[in-house]
Amino acid sequence: MNKNCIIYLKTSVGSPKYIIDWSHAYADVLLELGYGVAIIDFSTDEKTLTENLLKALNSNPKPEFILSIHGHAYDLQAGDGQSIYDHYQIPFLALTLDNPMVYHGSIKYQSRYTFCGLYDKSDLDYAVKYINPNKNYFFAPNVGFSSTVPPTPFHERNFDIMFCGTVFEPEIYKNYWKKLNIPHIDKLCETLVELLLSDNRKSLFEAMEEALHRHGIFSLDGVGNSFHTIVSVVSSYVRGYRRTALLKGLAQAGLEVHCFGHKKQLEKLEHPNLIIHDFLYTREYLETLGRSKIVLNTTPNGKYSTTERLLSAMMNGAAVATDINDYIEQCFTDNTSFIGFSHKDYKALADKLSYLLASPQKLEEIARNGEEAAKKNHTVRHGAVDLIAVAETGSLLLS
């Protein structure tokens, strides 16, 4: 091995298991690409953690980069109080899994050798303008994952329509900003919700700026730093609203949907056409995608992003029904690779899905086209190669 890298993970209770699984998937690919990989588990005791980390940081040759999915340990410091990444001059690649408001603290933290990967290209503008203009940012689009178990032949798949994800009551999030009891914040949030629900192609950043301008506010100084948190809450409200509306809309149109997630939340939707199943861990999740004919996907508001779910569903041979934005259209120029829909007309989507389920050859062709397109450009290997390029470029720029 003539190249080394470090991957952080955290196996403690409360850490999402998929982050651990994704980290190991990247480790496997980096090993295939000729890297020696040291995996540092931040859930071990402090003495063992320190020994393992120092050994990895001081390895020969020096690590080319450190990868942290979800940005664990962004604020580690050396003995001189300097960022440990600046001290050792090793690029630290922190991949985010949500909008930049969720990562406000880590993005705000100053470190020359830290590179923050945002999964929506339009979020880079928000992070630069409103959080930290001096940070190193890069576009890190989601990738898809294939199951280790061969997918079930399409005609034998036992789930016609499948949804997997968190469904939450949107009103819980609305109550958050309502309880603040700040009139201008309440009006701002309502405007932001209106803008986001009216156009799925409008980024969170664009909608926020438009909402601020509509209310005569041209600086966040006028609303306070907590507005980052409030914008993130509004984003969650819109996501919950859309997912709930999608599932109810299809159920009311007479389609049966198998829903995998937190049962207590899903059961609150209370419709006989929604078949509720338990939450799936990564391996079972990927296997279930490979036993589904159609997988439902909703994207967060953004012009330039997609979800891991969409790509993984395609890679495991399912046809994906998804709302559309600019990035999805750019990645899948042939619109026979997915089933597009608008959140404004679930009846039209239901009719389309019913037609395709009654035309299995056409449905399988969509699934096959999507699988080919996703595997061509959106695998973990593609993501790893892009990360290596970011690290190499960053090292040259900073040296």
Residue 54 has pLDDT above 80, yes or no: yes
- What is the C-alpha to C-alpha distance for residues 64 and 351, in angstroms, rounded to an integer? 52
Residue 218 has pLDDT above 80, yes or no: no
Q: Render pLDDT for 74-99 as a digit per residue (tens, 0 to 9).
A: 999 998 899 999 999 999 999 999 88
Are residues 196 and 324 located together in one domain of the fold? yes
Are residues 163 and 57 located together in one domain of the fold? no
Residue 148 located in a structural domain: no
- The predicted pLDDT at position 21 comes to 94
Are residues 40 and 87 located together in one domain of the fold? yes
- The predicted pLDDT at position 343 comes to 92
- What's the rounded mean pLDDT across residues 141-147? 96
- What is the C-alpha to C-alpha distance for residues 206 and 194, in angstroms, rounded to an integer? 13
Residue 313 located in a structural domain: yes
Are residues 139 and 187 located together in one domain of the fold? no
- What is the C-alpha to C-alpha distance for residues 318 and 316, in angstroms, rounded to an integer? 6
Are residues 136 and 165 located together in one domain of the fold? no
Confidence of residue 150 (pLDDT cuts 50, 70, 90): very high
Residue 224 has pLDDT above 70, yes or no: no
**Full-model pTM:** 0.94
Neighbours of 274 (CB within 10 A): 20
- The predicted pLDDT at position 348 comes to 97
The region, left, alpha or beta by phi > 0 then psi within -120 to 50, assigned to residue 44 is: beta
Residue 310 located in a structural domain: yes
Q: By residue range, what is the domain housing residue 61? A: 3-143+380-398
- The predicted pLDDT at position 286 comes to 97
Are residues 174 and 264 located together in one domain of the fold? yes
On whether the CB atoms of residues 56 and 76 are closer than 8 A, the answer is no
Percent of the chain with pLDDT over 90: 73
Are residues 394 and 325 located together in one domain of the fold? no
CA dihedral 270, 360, 242, 257 (to 10 degrees): 10
- The predicted pLDDT at position 386 comes to 97
Highest mean pLDDT out of 71-85, 95-109, 175-189, 246-260: 246-260
The least confident of 226-240, 306-320, 345-359 is 226-240
Q: Render pLDDT for 57-67 as a digit per residue (tens, 0 to 9).
A: 999 999 999 99
- What's the rounded mean pLDDT across residues 188-201? 90
Residue 1 has pLDDT above 70, yes or no: no
- CATH number of the domain that 94 lies in? 3.40.50.2000
Are residues 116 and 134 located together in one domain of the fold? yes
Confidence of residue 398 (pLDDT cuts 50, 70, 90): confident
Confidence of residue 222 (pLDDT cuts 50, 70, 90): low
Are residues 94 and 38 located together in one domain of the fold? yes
Domains in the chain, number: 2
Are residues 188 and 294 located together in one domain of the fold? yes
Residue 149 located in a structural domain: no
Q: Is 108 exposed, middle or buried (0-12, 13-18, 19+ CB in 10 A)?
A: middle
Are residues 186 and 131 located together in one domain of the fold? no
- The predicted pLDDT at position 257 comes to 98
Q: Render pLDDT for 276-297 as a digit per residue (tens, 0 to 9).
A: 999 999 999 999 999 999 999 9
β-pairing verdict for 159-164 and 35-41: unpaired
Residue 224 located in a structural domain: yes
Q: Annotate the chain with three-state secondary structure.
A: CCEEEEEEECCCCCCCHHHHHHHHHHHHHHHHCCEEEEEEECCCCHHHHHHHHHHHHCCCCCCCCEEEECCCCCCCECCCCCEHHHHHCCCEEEECCCCCCCCHHHHHCCCCCEEEEECCCCHHHHHHHHHCCCCEEEECCCCCCCCCCCCCCHHHCCEEEEEECCCCCHHHHHHHHHHCCCHHHHHHHHHHHHHHHHCCCCCHHHHHHHHHHHCCCCCHHHCCCCHHHHHHHHHHHHHHHHHHHHHHHHHHCCCCEEEECCHHHHHCCCCCCEEEECCCCHHHHHHHHCCEEEEEECCCCCCCCCCHHHHHHHHCCCEEEEECCHHHHHHCCCCCCCEEECCCCHHHHHHHHHHHHCCHHHHHHHHHHHHHHHHHHCCHHHHHHHHHHHHHHHHHHHC
Q: Render pLDDT for 160-173 as a digit per residue (tens, 0 to 9).
A: 999 998 888 888 88
Residue matched to tokens 């997609």: 306
Average pLDDT along the chain: 92
Are residues 166 and 251 located together in one domain of the fold? yes
Residue 345 located in a structural domain: yes
